[in-house]
Chains A and B, each alone.
Chain A
Amino acid sequence: DQQVKQNSPSLSVQEGRISILNCDYTNSMFDYFLWYKKYPAEGPTFLISISSIKDKNEDGRFTVFLNKSAKHLSLHIVPSQPGDSAVYFCAASGGGSNYKLTFGKGTLLTVNP
């Protein structure tokens, strides 16, 4: 049973436009959400996070929105740049003392020049 779902395996956008990556979760105990970016042959790198007490967090070109009632979050990248092309993973944590993350399968974003 997948608790974190990224239903779009891939997304292609034009440089300068907005990229919207979506993530759904089923476990209502999750209270912290993160997005990681992964380039080939590298480990995932932290991008942005949001606590369940917020509905929006912004960091430069990256904004994460959380809709707790729908158990849905999204990552907006604007404007998209070719260097943003990577696999994006949504991850969730139930808090507690070990901060174990549950990841989605990832979405491959391609930003075309």
Chain B
Amino acid sequence: GAGVSQTPSNKVTEKGKYVELRCDPISGHTALYWYRQSLGQGPEFLIYFQGTGAADDSGLPNDRFFAVRPEGSVSTLKIQRTERGDSAVYLCASSTGQGEKLFFGSGTQLSVL
């Protein structure tokens, strides 16, 4: 596609459930990022992939969060045992890996009830 695609656009779940958020980056982009934006805050870095490997996962808040990018394209962010504090917009971005200009998707609004 022309831009970064994220699905679903909205996800409502119950506390304790497992969720998966999907990101389809711009074709050919080798770098992929996940950010989280809470209400009234700027995006906060979670994890960065270069190709298939997680080059930097220092922003993942705890071991309930995990992300994969098995073929170097689509990525899935996985959250286990969701908590109400996980409610936020989860943003995915991709880039050519040649500079800091990131292209963001529209995000997934996650609501944990």
Q: Are the CB atoms of A89 and B43 closer together than 8 Å? A: yes
Q: In the complex, which range does the number of interface residues on chain A fall in?
A: 20 to 34
Residue of B43, B45, B59, B105 ringed by the most chain A CB atoms within 10 A: B43
- Which of B12-20, B48-56, B67-75, B77-85 has 4 or more CB atoms under 8 Å from chain A? B48-56
CB of A99 within 8 A of CB of B95, answer: yes
Residues 59-113 of A at the B interface (beta carbon under 8 Å):
89, 91, 93, 97-106
Interface size class of B (residues with CB under 8 A): 20 to 34
Q: With A42-B106, A43-B106, A46-B102 as given contacts, are A89 and B42 in contact (CB-CB < 8 Å)?
A: yes
Q: How far is the CB of A73 from chain B (nearest CB, A)?
A: 14
Return the chain B residue nearest A103 by Cβ: B42
B105 touches A43 (CB 8 A): yes
Given A36-B104, A89-B42, A104-B42, 6 more pairs with CB closer than 8 A: A43-B106, A49-B100, A99-B48, A99-B95, A99-B100, A100-B45
**A residues whose Cβ falls under 8 Å from a Cβ of B:** 4, 6, 32, 34, 36, 41-46, 49, 89, 91, 93, 97-106
